[in-house]
Amino acid sequence: MSVVKPLSVGEAAAPSQRSLIALGWLNFFLSGMQTAFGPVAAAYLAAQDWTAKDIGFVLSIGGVASLVSQLPGGELLDVVKAKRLLVATGVVTVALSTLIFRLWPSFPLVALAEVLQGITGGILGPAIVAITLGLVGHAGLAERQGRNQSFAAAGGVAATLTMALIAYLELPWAMFVPVALAVPLLVALNLIRAGEIDFGRASGAKHGHADHLQRAGRLSTLLQNRRLMIFSICAVLFQLANASMLPLMNGILASEGKRQAAPAVAALIIVPQLVVALLAPLVGERAEKIGRKPLLLVGFAALPIRAVLFALTTNPIALIATQVLDGITGAVIGVMTALVIADATQGTGRFNLAQGMFGTIMGVGASLSPTLSGLIVYNYGYSAGFLSLAAEALLAVIILALFFPETKGTDAI
- Identify the three-state secondary structure at position 64: helix
Cβ proximity of 370 and 247 under 8 Å: yes
Residues 97 and 155 in one domain: yes
Residues 232 and 122 in one domain: no
Cβ proximity of 115 and 60 under 8 Å: no
Helices marked H in 258-315 — which ranges? 261-290, 293-312
Q: Which residues of 365-403 are buried (b: 16+ CB within 10 A; e: fewer)?
A: bbbebbebbeebbeeeebeebbbbbbebbbbbbebbeee
Q: Over pLDDT 90: what percentage of the chain? A: 46
Cβ proximity of 314 and 354 under 8 Å: no
Classify residue 198 as left (phi > 0), alpha (psi -120 to 50) or beta: beta
Cβ proximity of 356 and 73 under 8 Å: yes
Q: Which of 187, 208, 229 is the last residue of a domain?
A: 208
Domain range enclosing 353: 217-413
List, for residues 242-251, the tens digit of each pLDDT value.
Answer: 988 888 887 7
CA 137 to chain centre: 21
Q: Which of 143-152, 176-185, 372-381 holds the top average pLDDT?
A: 143-152
For residue 382, the model assigns a pLDDT of 87
On whether residue 6 sits in a domain, the answer given is no
On whether residue 296 sits in a domain, the answer given is yes
DSSP assignment of 323-391, as one string?
HHHHHHHHHHHHHHHHHHHHHHTTBBT-HHHHHHHHHHHHHHHHHHHHHHHHHHHHHH-HHHHHHHHHH
- Identify the three-state secondary structure at position 81: coil
Q: Which of 175, 208, 241 is the last residue of a domain?
A: 208
Q: Over pLDDT 70: what percentage of the chain? A: 87
Nearest one of 131, 120, 110 to 48, comparing CA atoms: 110
On whether residue 5 sits in a domain, the answer given is no
On whether residue 3 sits in a domain, the answer given is no
On whether residue 2 sits in a domain, the answer given is no
Spatial distance between the Cα atoms of 318 and 316, rounded to a whole number of angstroms? 5
Nearest one of 146, 135, 143 to 7, comparing CA atoms: 135
For residue 58, the model assigns a pLDDT of 77
For residue 12, the model assigns a pLDDT of 52
Report which residue type is found at 362.
M
Given a cut of 90, whether residue 152 has pLDDT beyond it is yes
List, for residues 69-122, the tens digit of each pLDDT value.
Answer: 998 998 899 888 899 999 999 999 988 888 887 788 788 888 888 888 888 888
CATH code of the domain containing 150: 1.20.1250.20
- Identify the three-state secondary structure at position 205: strand
Side-chain-side CA neighbours of residue 28 (13 Å): 15
What domain count does the chain have? 2
On whether residue 1 sits in a domain, the answer given is no
Kindly report the average pLDDT of the chain as a whole number.
Answer: 85
On whether residue 198 sits in a domain, the answer given is yes
Cα angle value 135/140/144 (rounded, 5°): 80
For residue 261, the model assigns a pLDDT of 57
Spatial distance between the Cα atoms of 127 and 146, rounded to a whole number of angstroms? 16
pTM, whole model, 2 decimals? 0.87
